[in-house]
Structure 1
């Protein structure tokens, strides 16, 4: 949905006193149609994506009204299917999503009706270019006045509509609401255009700062000779019925989902949220303050979303409620302030479940830094997303720090060299084998490829027309979407949708053609005479999809093997072995620099940095944690590193309350999967910590710690400590042949440190 702040005037009026029951639903949902459609379309989603992982599904309330806000909207209609399927399978909730009115046609329109979607008209969908040019005659004293040359605003524009400026170099054009039509060549807007690009488009002046201020305020008017800029106009769209339908669905205890950025895009950062999401929440609570509405942020995180057999992570954030004071502001006609504050809350919640970077190069650098930082450690996909997010936040906060600038520069140079050699980062790390091993491994993998080709080639030939047509059409649709959008970069957000739609439409046609061909030719003469033609037809319909699916599975494995052949060949090539050796050394040095920089700046970013360290796993290839004896912790030059020291955990995280975590996510290996750094804390720090030990210390599992949240638990811990003190004292007396005649316990100061006693206890 793409409503702007102007829609606060279009929200439905408050109901009369006593009108608390929702009326008949405008867009009803049929449960069995919803489930049947999701079941069918999920098969296609599973074929397109290699893995769709969910994270934090326990945050979703199992009852009551919920407003889901999902971002970034990077995969057009595929986002909706993945979100609905995940909620249905993991949280047992059905959700009605808002869909653009222009998309409610054909198969998409039919599918949206099966799942109870709510169609929404958007201003940008109905915006059309109009004749003439526009400019700002008085940008200093009266920036709300827009004047035209060769325009007819009285005919083309209307109060409540919108005026759009063109996009510039991939940056979306600004739009504002029309407040008054002064004449055929002059309008007054509800708010002034802001920003350097917009003001330049309307004035032609170059004395504008990045914040949109004129450095020469004494000069009034546009640049001399400036003719103006092109524009688009959109009519006023009444959203009152849409809002009321959403209010009714939420007040009746249902779920509504919205992609508040307003439309799909392929940018690496969140777009500004539209006001519609805030109006939905505030309007619902204004009509029924006791309905119990909660808002749940959802992060749609993809790895190459437009590519076949890519991966996705759907992450649910912590739900929050709308503060009552915002509802009061909304009811007292202070809607702009209430909407602005709620949009800020929604934006912050979405940033906690998404990875946002200013551009693609920065995103690639952050992902490379994560791989360098995690050398020798294999993490679940959801933890990779979490680490990417933390690195993105840290790099954004310290982007002006010389250390971060130097790291990013070296990472970009490293990525360029990888592209030059046409290898991946993980291939560099594992290309360290002797020549005989390399030869044997190369021959073994080539043999496996030949075996897999037996299952791949038939399906590849059968499905080739569908692959080619879907790719061509998706590229054409991406170009069309890019031309009609002001926010897209390459239009890749529509490619996955069109690949799936084309495959769904074309696959039955192709299989039907193959079946008819085989039945007509009786399998090219190989079928026995007693076999009827219709049996051949139906058998072909069963065999063709099976061959295609086998090719998909075998091809997926074979592609991974094929990608691993180039580094092996490079190892055998004398001309490239030196380059490979150099880039391996460069990678090792860069990995040390990344780890040192993160460990140095991490405590300034996260207070619990030292307690949630992500150490290397010695059992994983390349995960050797041995360090030179004179190595010191970069963050603590005077403190030696204790290799193998487990990460520290606060004792309160192991109490009965922490063991009551929901069980729809596995916590069995939580002691071995920490959250951030790769190097362990210093020995001195770990011993002086009040946490009393870390995961795995003394071979204690998580549940083995004594709880201190009760008097019984405290007495038990105290008893253990005293017993350990007595045992320690007896051992020291036997060694020194010095005993106590009265049998009293020795003083703890003579029997080692308090931390050592606690460790043995």
Structure 2
């Protein structure tokens, strides 16, 4: 019992139960593993094992699924439990119950409570008094609220602007805390067309709005007190816990990051204001998806280098310079997120960047994490040199190449099948058709059983996407909500459906096949085991079957006389594009990255069969500085004459890192297994390694010759060192 007068510890506002957290995540991990083919963590060693951490994750492309994946990854890889911030409007039903199990912090957002107001508004004098807004048929006294928000409507997918209300002057007049900025808000509030991109007017003779302009519709939101929410976050961080936030404010399906909300900076600066010595660090997290809304897609969760908030920003925040401190910290957060995400101005450009990555690494297979890394570097390069004529030309060519692929309905990697001979194509087509027939035997029963869940989940997710798109000003197609609704529908409908199957099985005594002495509850138990097992088997067989089915079309096109010419032309165009992409990257790369020569791609011994890794970067299981980390390569100018014959997008200066010199090549079965599990496989020789420059390695004599050359080179190098230093000569004397 506490002594009289002793201070009582304050009760945590949103407590976290460790065992509930772990049990809930374990159950949801099963669902995540069924929906995604692969979720790969990268850079988890960056996460501090203790102390307060604020995780900032972006892009927020998969609504509630993002939260589950982030929490599961942190728990499995870093043994950290994290409390995520969740929108107050989502805290209901199953989502609300689940958020309470993992200690999430609900946050009320002004945009969620905004409602359409009566009348219209305009700016009477946007130049001299941009803070003053006048209404027509409005009643600001009753509908508006000081410190509330006023929202302008979105137009053609562009987000509507919003500002805070500083003063309510009267029923038809208010003052805002800051003026609206930009072309779209000025056009909405004045009706004028002579507006520049920064919101300034070109015609200085006109001071007010367009004559006869009636104004624009608008929404009003009340003031939301977030003091309790912020204090809950401060307490969690000061006690050494972890807090996670998606700082873009809401989920979206755009290819670029949205502007970060100020809340993430206020949380970090506020916690340090209350306890400057708490040791808070901020860790950026990149949520990189490959078709996030699709079943059996892939994802890479990348953790970036942690950073601390500079002490001068905390001082500014304490000395009433909060706006400057928040802006500077948001800039730091944005830069850190850009280092772990892949962004592009539009979808076509993003697809062109991915095509450039495939063409640059023609004939090779990259681990999934390095696919994201190379995509990001190419994205940064295209962004920096977007006005360069070489980049513009190759980008247009890549977009045209992608259009041709879509027209023929084939993938880039399938174009190479066009170079096969007709007998090989026929044999491969028949072989794959036979495999598809065999796999169908295992797929059809589970597909029939689970088909109602597939159909219902797809219909509902499409409807929810349309609803989300209609209520958002930043979404493009509403795909960011589809995966969430597919999972929710499957979690609710699948047990009901399987229970129905089990009741039918028990009622009919296994369709008359069960003996009379067998109790009915045994039949029920068998049903609950058999039906999910059949569905899971169909999932695994169907995954392989879909890969085979997608590979049939290019084989058929190779046999068609009407399309073989198009395929051949496309293959030639692909080869030309690969040379152009490599040439542009090699020319502009050194201007983009100082270590460009040292960070070319080399063979990765842990991924045999043509896989590659960036020199100097750690392997998937190693930490920086550990023995598993690859040493940097020598500059190109220090290479031997023989190495200059190697293509410029490869480098083998560090010959000890080349997997081909292992004692025994990997088996085919192992390569196939690695390819299926990590999406980075490929057989021996798939990396287009130029072994002709060394020797043939398909015989004992070939290996002996290679070993002899290596020993001679090592002996010659040792002699050169001894002649230069003279140290070993003195020891021998």
TM range (shorter): 0.7 to 0.9
Instruction: Give me the whole-angstrom Cα distance separating, in 2, the residues matched to 1:570 and 1:680.
Output: 46
1:406 aligns with 2:402: no
3-state SS of paired residue (2:54) = strand
The CA deviation at 1:589 is: 0.4
Report the secondary structure of 1:226's partner residue: coil
- Of residues 720, 725, 730, the one that matches 1:724 is 720
Q: Secondary structure at the match of 2:22?
A: helix
- Find the aligned partners of 1:503 and 1:665 in 2 and give their Cα distance: 41
CA distance in 2, matches of 1:109, 1:577: 56
Q: TM-score, normalized by length of structure 2?
A: 0.85
1:377–1:620 contact (8 Å) kept in structure 2:
no
Aligned-partner Cα distance in 2 for 1:20–1:212: 55
Distance 1:282 1:311, change over 3 A: same
Distance of aligned partners of 1:20 and 1:587 in 2 relative to their CA distance in 1, 3 Å threshold: farther
For 2:222, the equivalent position in structure 1 comes to 235
1-side partners of 2:654 and 2:219: how far apart?
Answer: 67
The whole-number CA distance in structure 2 between the counterparts of 1:173 and 1:58 is 40
1:538 is the counterpart of 2:525:
yes
| 1:209 shift after superposition | 1.1
1:37 and 1:115 in contact (8 A); partners too? yes
**C-alpha deviations, 1:489-536, integer Å up to 9, x for none?**
111000000000000000100000000011111222222222222221
Tell me: CA distance 1:674–1:516, structure 2 relative to 1, closer, same or farther (3 Å): farther
Q: Kindly tell me: are residues 221 and 569 of structure 1, through their superposed partners in 2, closer, same or farther at Cα, counting changes over 3 Å?
A: same
Q: Measure how far apart 1:225 and its partner are.
A: 1.5
Q: 1:552 aligns with which of 529, 532, 539?
A: 539
Q: Residues 514, 647 of structure 1: CA spacing in aligned structure 2 closer, same or farther, 3 A cutoff?
A: closer
Q: Among 321, 324, 335, which residue is 1:348 paired with? A: 335
Instruction: State the Cα deviation string for residues 698-752 of structure 1 (Å, max 9, x = none).
Output: 64799xxxxxxxxxxxxxxxx997842566999xxxxxxxxxxxxx99xxxxxxx
Distance of aligned partners of 1:435 and 1:674 in 2 relative to their CA distance in 1, 3 Å threshold: farther
**Aligned residues of 2:598 and 2:632 also touching (Cα < 8 A):** no
- State the match for 1:96 in structure 2: 83
> Secondary structure of the equivalent of 2:599?
coil
The alpha carbon displacement at 1:233 in A equals 0.4
Partner of 2:172: 185
User: How far 1:674 sits from its partner (Å)?
Assistant: 8.7
Q: Does 2:606 match 1:610?
A: no
Structure 2 CA distance for partners of 1:623 and 1:572, relative to 1, 3 Å: farther
CA distance in structure 2 between the aligned counterparts of 1:105 and 1:35, rounded to whole angstroms: 21
Give the 3 Å change call, closer, same or farther, for CA 314–103 of structure 1 in structure 2. same
**Which ranges of structure 2 fall in alignment gaps of 5 or more residues?**
1-5, 645-650, 660-714
Counterparts in 2 of 1:489 and 1:701: CA distance versus 1, 3 Å: closer
Counterpart-to-counterpart distance in 1, 2:620 and 2:498? 49
Please tell me whether the aligned partners of residues 376 and 616 of structure 1 are also in contact (alpha carbons under 8 angstroms).
no
What is the aligned counterpart of 2:412 among 415, 425, 434? Answer: 425
* Alpha-carbon distance change, 318 to 40 in structure 1, aligned in 2, over 3 angstroms: same
Task: Indicate the SS of the match to 1:262.
Answer: coil
2:207 is aligned to: 220
Give 1:643's aligned residue.
none
Alpha-carbon separation, structure 1, partners of 2:228 and 2:418:
62
Deviations 1:286-332 (A, max 9, x none): 00000000000000000000000000100000000011111111111
Deviation at 1:412, TM superposition (A): 0.9
Match of 2:565 among 578, 583, 596: 578
Match of 2:121, SS?
Answer: strand
Residue 32 (structure 2) pairs with residue 45 (structure 1): yes
Which secondary structure does the structure 1 equivalent of 2:597 belong to?
coil
The CA deviation at 1:265 is: 0.5
Pairing partner for 1:516 from 497, 503, 510 = 503
1:619 positional shift: 14
Q: 1:22 to 1:398 in 2, by over 3 A?
A: farther
TM, length-normalised to structure 1: 0.82
CA distance in 1, matches of 2:171, 2:351: 50
Q: Determine the structure 2 residue equivalent to 1:248.
A: 235
Give the aligned partner of residue 77 of structure 1.
Answer: 64
- Unaligned ranges ≥5, structure 1: 1-18, 625-645, 688-693, 703-718, 731-743, 746-761
Q: How many residues align?
A: 663
CA separation in 2, counterparts of 1:20 and 1:137? Answer: 57
Partner of 1:735: none
Contact 1:647/1:680 (<8 A) preserved: no
Structure 1 position 203, deviation (Å): 0.7
Match of 1:463 in 2: 450
Partners of 1:478 and 1:495 within 8 A in 2? yes
Give the root-mean-square deviation of aligned CA atoms: 3.2
**Residue 616 of structure 1, CA deviation:** 8.0
Distance in 1, Cα, partners of 2:532 & 2:558: 40
Tell me if the contact between 2:604 and 2:658 (Cα under 8 Å) persists in the aligned partners.
no
Say if 1:111 and 1:76 are closer, same or farther in 2 by CA, change over 3 A: same
- CA offset at residue 684 of structure 1? 6.9
Larger mean CA deviation between 527-536 and 57-66 belongs to: 527-536
Change in Cα spacing, 1:185 to 1:20, as seen in structure 2 (3 Å) is: farther
The match for 2:556 is 569
Give 1:111's match in structure 2, choosing from 98, 101, 105.
98
Contact map agreement 1:672 1:695 (CA 8 A) in 2: no
Q: Distance in 1 between matches of 2:313 and 2:510?
A: 71
Q: 1:296 aligns with which of 276, 279, 283?
A: 283
Q: Does 1:206 align with 2:202?
A: no
Structure 1 residues 617 and 409, CA gap change in structure 2 (3 angstroms): farther
CA distance in 2, matches of 1:244, 1:126: 22
Q: 1:385 to 1:620 in 2, by over 3 A?
A: closer
CA–CA separation in structure 1 for the residues paired with 2:104 and 2:72: 14
Q: Cα–Cα, structure 1 residues 578 and 475, in superposed 2: closer, same or farther, change >3 Å? A: same
**For 1:444-523, what aligned pairs fall within 5 Å after superposition?**
444-523=431-510
> What is the rounded CA distance, in whole Å, between the counterparts of 1:20 and 1:335 in structure 2?
32
